[in-house]
Amino acid sequence: MARGTDRRRDGRPGPEADDAPATRDGLPPRLDAPVRLLVGPANFAGQGTRWARALEERVPTTKATSYAFLKGVLDYPVDYGIPAGTYRRSRRWQLNFVNHVIRNYTHVLIEASRPIFGTWYGQDASYDIPPLLAKGLQVGLIAHGSDVRIPSRHVETEPWSPFPDLEDETVELLERNSTRAVELFTSFPGAVYVSTPDLLDYVPNAVWCPVVVDVDTWRSDAPVLEHEKPVVAHAPSKSAMKGSELIDPIMEGLAERGLITYRRVEGVDPADMPGVYRDADIVLDQFRVGSYGVAACEAMAAGRVVVGHIAQHVRDRVLADTGLELPIVEATPDTIEQVVLDLVSHPERGREVAARGPAFVEQVHDGRRSAEALASFVERPSAVPADWKPSWIRPKVVMMAGNDIVVDARVLKYAQTVANWDLDVTCIGIPGRKLKGARELGKVHVLCPPIQSKVLVTGWRKRLANLKPWFSSEAEYTLAYGRWQYASRELRGDRGRDRRDRERAGGVAAAPAPARRPTRERLLRAARWRSLRLHRAILDARAYPIRRAKRKVATTDMGIGKRRERQLALYRYLPSGRWRRVMPEVVDQELTLGPLLDRIQPEVIHVHDVFMLGIAARAAHRAALDDRTIKIIYDAHEYIPGVPVVAPRRVAAYSDLEREFIHDADRVITVSEPLAGWLQRDHKLATLPDVVLNAPVEPPEDAQVKGLREQLRLPEDVPLLVYGGGVNRARGVGTAVEALRQLPDVHLAIVARANPVTAELQARAVELGVGDRVHLAPFVDAEVVPLYLRSATIGLSPLLHAPNHDIAVTNKFCEYIAAGLPIVTSDTPAQADLVRELDLGAVYSAGDVDGFVRAVRTVLADRDRIAKRIADDPQLRHRFSWAAQAEVIRSVYAEVMEKLPDAAWAPGATIVKRLVPDPPEPPETKWRAFKDAASAAERDQEQTQEKKQR
């Protein structure tokens, strides 16, 4: 239950009450008045409470609740207080408080740019304002001090500024936060206030709402400067900001000389401060900021001599606004010693200044001026439009993918495109080889938080797996083998330690290592070595089933065929094919990424591929319970039942996941027209999915790319076929390798990541006598692929028949067109129809080597004409460009979000030239790493062949 404190009408410090004014659900009670104001959540020095009381007294039709989160130390009385942990972390309290405020208040005065609702909407008040305005509440802002005091500007105007002496990280944080707060205060068209006059330097559109002090509480009849040794008190709330480190040595020196009694006050409860000031003659306020605040007003109200540094323009501003001189004796760290000595030597001067203090506070700081300033906020209609929001508050879009984002060019294209439309884009994935944690890609935030294993290989599942005599997956074997490796390295490390100890002299050991270990220790080590060797043999034996299956797949399985279709059909109806059973890691991902989505509160979640579809749907379900709406766009990159290579049971699980959640999507996008039809048919979708090809972006103007032909050092007159993309047996690249025997002088470049299949292809090329004409080349950054490929002669798409291949219009197909290359494709229908219809090249029967040869010869004979036909058709090149796809995406987002920012319709809004902020990496820098990987793959292939022969 939220904690409340005693509500005292004078706002003075008081004890916490057990019967705090909060309802049974831990929320403040409803106020009975036409105008109901909430002030919070800072209540610095009790000012929120005092402003609330002052306004109630000035405007009888208004009732106010002061509210703050409590730290448990030196908290000031407040009408409604909650623990800081609840404020920051309790989603339940945050939601309840949002609903309570919207239903029970008419006005909200937000202090210090702090979020009213904890972190429910965001990290500062700017995120709370739009939903409050949208619900019809009037909103005002009030600044306290450091929340708008920008360090870089303060340093320019104030010679004693504290910021140069603070830690760099602290100043950077203050600079960032105060700059944002000033942007908010100066752009907000409603009521804006500052609590001290110097803050008008930063927020000139604000009204000064003076801090409030109860004069009666602080009034003292104790004489001033009549002690034998004057008592000088200094009670800084923040010593670094007050300049305590500059004046403490000076005052301590005067005290040691017997001239004054110096009292440095810290950690005193606010209720005890009137007594501290009553016993003092001189109160030192602050010497670095150049203004005055609550502490100075309290000391003036007590009739003490207040000394501090007040900038002259601040004194002038107070005089102009109030008609009164500010009764604070001016001093800086350079002059403070002499000023105090003068007051000690001439006490009558000090008494005269002190005597003016209570009257000044009563005129300016007793609450009447503050209430007068705030009255216009509660008495006048708001001029703030209901749809107003700060310029940096943009609709939030989250893009999710089951990878580490930076490796997925399609996701990056979407993200950069949508970010160009003035939408706040965050990409969420899972940690991978390229990214763990967070990264900024221009306007796009990327988050790949660590996923804790709470379901995967834990509990009874893990214990049951350990009982099996064999490994059921490669991951289990890898994990067990890793532990064996560590144990063997550890034992070898013991031997290394022995040798190192014998060879080195000195060290921190109390006695030198013995030349020979004791017999018992040597025998134990020998036993451990034998145990490890036996353990390795057992591991190999337990891994036999998966190795056998792997060899079988390597020699026979293409990931396609009738047998696979039967397996998928069977798993579809078996419980063992359900996604929760096959993929417990999805539950782990949900437990980590679900709360992250709840904190971000996006308007749209765009799910790429099926992996994160359930997580997005669950987030939308939870949002509905919180009276929020999340729209889901599902981007189906593949026809899940037709995915090759992946184990049938896992494919069945992916299909199960898609079936369960696809109807939670508000729109579905996919990669080809045939696949759109299949998705509508399989899932009985109301509308046909939109089609967005995986087309290339425009290369950056400053891209410096060495072309593929130049990389391979091939003359211009040598025919060069190129295949770009992932390589497995179902991709059909082997057809092209086999055909080279009938295509003398023709070279083949395979732009792919080295793997066992690429090693097999190279080995086969050597067997055929064409090894010198088959080249492996590395991938390059997606932005420069067309530039990289354009020096080739023909682009290849030799896919074998499979459900996904038959309906695919691949990214390589679009890249070949962007590069101006004629295309030779297998007769997979989607691409074959386009090649015939648009006169882009030639088609052959998938897997038919002779047909491939005829197609290549046909295109080589007509290459110049086809290349010119592509180059001279801007509509064709636009159709297969990312800019054209972005137009489709924009129409989808416009319908889903109902309205897009104006930036989405500006010229060039569909053009993307960089997927990452850094310039694309030139391909030549990748060759060394690529060749090392290719060599390793070749060695693995050779070892496999040797084992087969043995």
Residue % of the chain over a pLDDT of 70: 84
> Using one digit for the tens of pLDDT, what is the confidence trace for 328-354?
999 999 999 999 999 999 999 999 999
| Mean pLDDT within 2-25 | 39
Question: Last residue of some domain: 208, 224, 253?
Answer: 208
In this structure, what is the dihedral angle of CA atoms 457, 459, 465, 468, given to the nearest 10 degrees? 170
Residue 106 domain-assigned (yes or no): yes
> Using one digit for the tens of pLDDT, what is the confidence trace for 219-229?
998 999 988 89
Residue % of the chain over a pLDDT of 90: 62
- Residue 938: predicted pLDDT: 54
Q: Which of 576, 579, 647, 649 is nearest to 615 (CA)?
A: 579
In a shared domain, residues 150 and 253:
no
- 3 state DSSP class of 438: strand
- Residue 464: predicted pLDDT: 55
Ranking 348-357, 413-422, 520-529 by mean pLDDT, the lowest is 520-529
| CA separation for the pair 200, 204 (Å, rounded) | 5
In a shared domain, residues 589 and 539:
no
In a shared domain, residues 789 and 829:
yes
In a shared domain, residues 89 and 127:
yes
| CA separation for the pair 633, 750 (Å, rounded) | 34
In a shared domain, residues 813 and 740:
yes
User: Distance of alpha carbon 54 from its chain centroid, rounded?
Assistant: 42
In this structure, are residues 152 and 175 in contact, taking their beta carbons and an 8 Å threshold? yes
Per-residue pLDDT band for 14 (boundaries 50, 70, 90) equals: very low
Ranking 34-43, 458-467, 731-740, 797-806 by mean pLDDT, the lowest is 458-467
- Residue 930: predicted pLDDT: 44
In a shared domain, residues 99 and 176:
yes
In this structure, are residues 77 and 46 in contact, taking their beta carbons and an 8 Å threshold? yes
| Mean pLDDT within 569-573 | 67
- Residue 557: predicted pLDDT: 46
Write out the two tokens for 831.
Answer: 């691409």
Output the furthest CA–CA distance in the chain (Å, rounded).
114
- DSSP code of residue 862: T
User: Distance of alpha carbon 198 from its chain centroid, rounded?
Assistant: 36
If one compares 932 and 419, the residue with the highest pLDDT of the two is 419
In a shared domain, residues 228 and 355:
yes
- pTM equals 0.72
Q: How many CB atoms lie within 10 A of CB 255?
A: 15
Degrees, nearest 5: CA angle 649-652-657: 130
In this structure, are residues 14 and 271 in contact, taking their beta carbons and an 8 Å threshold? yes
In this structure, are residues 51 and 39 in contact, taking their beta carbons and an 8 Å threshold? yes
822-854 CB burial, b ≥16 within 10 A, e <16: bbbbbbbebbbbbbeebebbbbbebbebebbbb
For residue 908, CA distances in Å to 421, 425, 694, 883, 904 come to: 10, 19, 19, 9, 9
Degrees, nearest 5: CA angle 427-432-436: 65
Residue 114 domain-assigned (yes or no): yes
CA torsion through residues 627, 629, 634, 635, sign: negative
Per-residue pLDDT band for 507 (boundaries 50, 70, 90) equals: very low
Residue 146 domain-assigned (yes or no): yes
775-789 CB burial, b ≥16 within 10 A, e <16: bbbbbbbbbbbbbbb
How would you write 281-343 as a 3-class SS string? CEEECCCCCECCCHHHHHHHHCCCEEEECECHHHHHHHHHHHCCCCCCEECCCCCHHHHHHHH
Per-residue pLDDT band for 18 (boundaries 50, 70, 90) equals: very low
Contacts of 69 (CB under 8 A, 6+ apart): 41, 81, 82, 83, 84, 86, 87, 88, 118
In this structure, are residues 631 and 637 in contact, taking their beta carbons and an 8 Å threshold? no
Host H or E run for residue 826 = strand 823-826
Residue 949 has pLDDT above 90, yes or no: no
Write out the two tokens for 277.
Answer: 């000031």
Residue 715 domain-assigned (yes or no): yes
| CA separation for the pair 821, 793 (Å, rounded) | 7
- Residue 1: predicted pLDDT: 31
| Mean pLDDT within 696-708 | 84
Residue 440 has pLDDT above 80, yes or no: yes
- Residue 13: predicted pLDDT: 36
152: domain CATH number is: 3.40.50
> Using one digit for the tens of pLDDT, what is the confidence trace for 75-91?
889 999 999 999 988 88
| Mean pLDDT within 410-418 | 95
- Residue 648: predicted pLDDT: 80
Query: In total, how many domains does the chain have?
Result: 5
Could you please report the per-residue DSSP string of 139-194?
EEEEE-STTT--HHHHHHH-TT-SGGGS-HHHHHHHHHHHHHHHHHHHH--SEEEE
> Using one digit for the tens of pLDDT, what is the confidence trace for 162-179?
999 989 999 999 999 999
Query: Distance between the two ends of the chain, CA-based, in angstroms?
Result: 74
Residue 375 has pLDDT above 70, yes or no: yes
Question: Last residue of some domain: 807, 842, 874?
Answer: 874
- Residue 156: predicted pLDDT: 94
Residue 403 domain-assigned (yes or no): yes
Per-residue pLDDT band for 615 (boundaries 50, 70, 90) equals: very high
In a shared domain, residues 848 and 890:
no
For residue 180, CA distances in Å to 183, 186, 363, 535, 602 come to: 5, 10, 34, 61, 21
| CA separation for the pair 283, 343 (Å, rounded) | 12
Residue 585 has pLDDT above 90, yes or no: no
Which position has the token pair 């801090």? 211
- 3 state DSSP class of 721: strand
Q: What is the mean pLDDT of the chain?
A: 86
Write out the two tokens for 481.
Answer: 């083998």
How would you write 879-932 as a 3-class SS string? HCCHHHHHHHHHHHHHHHHCCCCHHHHCCCCCCCCCCCCCCCCCHHHHHHHHHH
675: domain CATH number is: 3.40.50.2000
In this structure, are residues 382 and 138 in contact, taking their beta carbons and an 8 Å threshold? yes
Q: Please, where are the H alpha helices in 387-512?
A: 409-419, 459-467, 474-503
> Using one digit for the tens of pLDDT, what is the confidence trace for 587-601?
888 888 988 998 888
In a shared domain, residues 793 and 831:
yes
Q: Which of 822, 820, 843, 823 is nearest to 833 (CA)?
A: 843
> Using one digit for the tens of pLDDT, what is the confidence trace for 254-298?
999 999 999 999 888 888 889 999 999 999 999 999 999 999 999
| Mean pLDDT within 575-579 | 73
Domain that holds residue 745: 708-874
Residue 29 domain-assigned (yes or no): no
In a shared domain, residues 429 and 460:
no
Residue 561 has pLDDT above 90, yes or no: no
Which position has the token pair 């007003």? 297
- Residue 130: predicted pLDDT: 93
In a shared domain, residues 440 and 298:
no
If one compares 562 and 364, the residue with the highest pLDDT of the two is 364
In this structure, are residues 886 and 668 in contact, taking their beta carbons and an 8 Å threshold? no
Report cis status (omega within 30 of 0) of the bond before 41.
yes
Ranking 297-301, 318-322, 809-813, 925-929 by mean pLDDT, the lowest is 925-929
Residue 122 domain-assigned (yes or no): yes
Per-residue pLDDT band for 524 (boundaries 50, 70, 90) equals: confident
Residue 749 domain-assigned (yes or no): yes
CA torsion through residues 271, 275, 276, 278, sign: positive
In a shared domain, residues 79 and 180:
yes
